[in-house]
Structure 1
Amino acid sequence: MRAHVGDHLIVESPTTGATRRNGEIVGVHHNDGTPPYDVRWSDSGRVSLVFPGPDAHIHHTGHPAGTAAGAGARPLSDVEVAALVRDASAAPSMHNAQPWRFRYFRGERLFHVTADLARTLPHSDADLRALHLGCGAALMNLRVAAAHTGRQPTTRLLPDPGDPTLLATVALTSPLGDEDDLCGLYPAIHARHTSRSPFADTEIPESVRTTLREAAGAEGVSLSFASGWHLQTVLDLTLEAEARNLTDQGSAADLTHWTQLPDQTPRSATEGVPPYAFGPRRHGGKAPVRDFAGGRPVPGRETADFESSPQLALLATPGDNPNDWLRAGQAMERVLLTATLEELSSSFITQALEWPDLRWPLRDPVAGAGHVHMVLRLGYGPPGPRTPRRPTRHTLDIQP
């Protein structure tokens, strides 16, 4: 059995007269097209990993994923709207707070992407910059998912000056046009996970670095890899931020709120960073991975040596306002999806970004890259575990 993204998996029922299942293959794990597959089921809109049995067969569509004739002109069903929001919500956010909400207007075929101000980090993100980055990443996933269905995502950032919580609108009224390059990123949406494990010291090839720079540049954001004295400066600033966080009550409160240890009062299982995603405690190496345990003991947690030469990429824009933050969030997710397709693992180095006096020195004054919005740790290592997401009934509102 071999398939391509966009083909359909048909599972016949062994019982006469029973309903068969049909799903679109949205991810292929092997280059030769053999199973398993990531399948979005038509009856629920959910994506699951499937190892097809003898009762399954492939229906080859004969056209690229998302280019079905007339897709852009056909109204979305509520199941399809919910599926797009599930894809969007696979985006990363600081401490996995998931600070977004979506409203879909059927008549206008229009999404509103809004900030959920009940899901902020008051001490670590007082200016809401990280909130905008996370929502920008969700916006990028929504654009990619829409393009995958054959619809052109016409996007406006901050369309209403009187409502700063309305971060973007996305209209899906036209067939796919100049954003067809986004379709190829779709398989990475549910394959991308933050990895807090050690990476190999294998250098990322220059050709791949160029591809990542181009991905950021497509969103009007610069990406640069820190090296030499600049890399050491970034590492030193991160260590300084980590030392401050250990004694800062506000930072500790944010971390405790969005993590859950066995001896704490249980919080929702659909948000935050669970202990299984903390990764090992760093024993050696220079990779500045945040310790989400915050010094608290975690039963059974291992220690490990991390890479001695971490590969850190900085995303920056000339300006530093909500529009820049949203563009940086979209660029961040576009880079991460591209990195996933290049078989790179990734995590976030945000500690110094949380302290205003440490954030500005992160920039490379030689390159003059402006305001740094995110530091990405990239490399070859194990993929991270899947972390929880809120159900769409908590994040989506469908209007006539």
Structure 2
Amino acid sequence: MNDQLPTAFDQALAAAVRAPSPHNTQPWRFVVDGDAVEVWLDRDRVLAVADPAAREARVSCGAAVLNLVITLRVNGLGARVRILPGAALPDLLAVIGLDGTRRSTEQDRGLAEAVHRRHTNRRPFADRAVPAVARARLKSAALSEGGQLEFLDASGRYPKVAALVRRAESLQAEDPAFRAESAFWTGRAAESPDGVPTVAFGPRYEIPGVVCHRASHTNPAVPSRAFEQDPLLAVVLTRDHGAAADVRAGMVMQRVLLTATAEGLAASFLSQPLEVHGIREQFLELFRGLGQVHALLRIGYGHATRMTARRPAAEVTAQRAEPDVPAV
């Protein structure tokens, strides 16, 4: 391995850990094996109540894969991705190997720059429509990674989805186990390397029933604010389903989020209907025929908010000690 590679890998891994994850749990581990990086699911950081099947955790790891690949590309390195979860090693999600050199594009550079600016925005968005050209770019971003982005305001699904978000939120609020899990990961100090600090919470909403952030992500010290009444909602889909599709969906979702950041847009997650048994089935049924839904996003124009911290890449990365022997 020549002298360029450690620097390129260091930058790529620093970008990988900037990926989003539920409650900023950061459910990933990386192993550098020669000219390749393995991405492993960290079971200790999977939300046992909200995400018992680790679907959201695998999506997060897929987002980390996309950040890593984009950063290698802007350093002039080609990257090939193998998505690998299987029966033998179900937590080995992907291997990213170097594939010669390549000239980075202006789009690559824009996305790589957005990696370190993208963050979840739980605050009110402006009542300003996202223009058709920006929507087209977001849809194109999803397609380029083999997925699909479906905006809900163009269909009759919007009120049904909004109702399921509210119902799931209500059921989670009544669940002591969910509340305890959420409390463990949220309300942390601003400098916390994981979890969601209180400073990243949104304000109380003035009008009940709006679709915005989780009630558990409300900062009582911030004056209440009016949220947009009809936020732009979109779902991330893939044609297939299962563990490999979750990883692929994370790459799709992250390219959408990075494209949104590059377009000056903000985004947050509405994961509640995917986390509650019974509600999840109703939610997925709404999109039967389109594909498997992996994420529900709220997109719009928002004011800058504080970014949450991440654990250093070195803390979650190991070197392969011997060939063909897993290091995690």
Mark yes or no: TM-score above 0.5. yes
Give per-residue Cα distances to partners, 1:186-234, cap 9 Å, x unaligned: 1100011111110112111111111111111111111111125311111
Opposite residue 276 of structure 1, the aligned amino acid is: V
The size of the alignment, in residue pairs, is 319
Match in the other structure for 2:28: 100
CA deviation map 1:125-168 (0-9, x unaligned): 01100010100000000010010101111110016641111100
Structure 1 residues 397 and 180: alpha-carbon distance in aligned structure 2, compared to 1, 3 A threshold: farther
Superposed, which structure 2 residues align to 1:3-42 within 5 Å? none
1:384 and 1:259 map into 2 onto residues whose CA distance is 17
Q: Distance in 1 between matches of 2:53 and 2:288?
A: 26
Aligned positions of 1:170-181 closer than 5 A: 170-176=96-102
Distance across 1 between alignment mates of 2:256 and 2:270:
15
In our comparison, the structure showing a higher alpha carbon Rg is 1
Taking the TM superposition and a 5 Å limit, the aligned residue runs for 1:155-194 are 155-158=81-84, 161-176=87-102, 182-194=108-120
Structure 1: how far apart are the matches of 2:83 and 2:110?
Answer: 23
| Cα 1:261/1:292, change in 2 over 3 Å | same
For residue 277 of structure 2, the aligned residue among 356, 367, 375 is: 356
CA 1:161 to 1:74, structure 2 compared with 1: closer, same or farther past 3 Å? farther
Which ranges of structure 1 fall in alignment gaps of 5 or more residues?
1-72
Where does the alignment leave 5 or more consecutive residues of structure 2 unmatched?
322-328
Residues in 2 aligned to 1:377 and 1:299: alpha-carbon distance in whole angstroms? 22
**8 Å contact from structure 1 (residues 239, 288) kept in 2:** no
> Which structure dedicates a bigger proportion of its chain to helix?
2
What residue number does 2:204 align with? 281
Task: Kindly report which structure 2 residues correspond to 1:331-342, keeping only aligned pairs within 5 A, or say none.
Answer: 331-342=252-263
8 Å CA contact retained: 1:200, 1:379 = yes
User: Which amino acid in the other structure matches residue 397 of structure 1?
Assistant: A
Please state how far the C-alpha of 1:251 moved relative to its aligned partner: 1.3
Judging changes above 3 Å, is the alpha-carbon distance between structure 1 residues 158 and 192 closer, same or farther for their aligned structure 2 residues? same
TM-score by length of structure 2 reads 0.90
Are residues 1:91 and 2:19 paired?
yes
Distance 1:346 1:126, change over 3 A: same
Residues 287, 293 of structure 2: 8 Å contact kept: no
Give secondary structure in 2 for the equivalent of 1:307: coil
Counterpart of 2:324 in structure 1 is: none
Structure 1 position 244 matched with structure 2 position 165? no
**CA–CA distance in 1 between the matches of 2:89 and 2:233?**
35
RMSD: 2.3
Matches within 5 A, 1:223-262: 223-227=149-153, 229-260=156-187
* SS of 1:146 mapped into structure 2: helix
CA distance in 2, matches of 1:253, 1:306: 27
Of structures 1 and 2, the one scoring higher in RCO (CA 8 A, sep 6+) is 2
Partner of 1:145: 71
Q: Which amino acid aligns with 2:261?
A: T
Shift of 1:284: 2.0
**Using the alignment, how far apart are the partners of 1:180 and 1:361 within structure 2?**
41
Q: Percent identity?
A: 34
Question: Are 2:9 and 2:72, in contact at CA under 8 Å, matched by a contact in 1?
Answer: no
- Tell me by how many angstroms 1:79 deviates: 4.3
Aligned partner of residue 311 in structure 2, secondary structure: coil
SS state at 1:130 partner: helix
Aligned residue for 2:229? 308
CA contact (8 A) 2:235 2:294 kept: yes
- Could you report, residue by residue, the CA deviation over 1:379-399 in whole angstroms, capped at 9, with x for unpaired residues? 011133110100123111123
Alignment CA distance shift 1:112-1:260 (3 Å): same
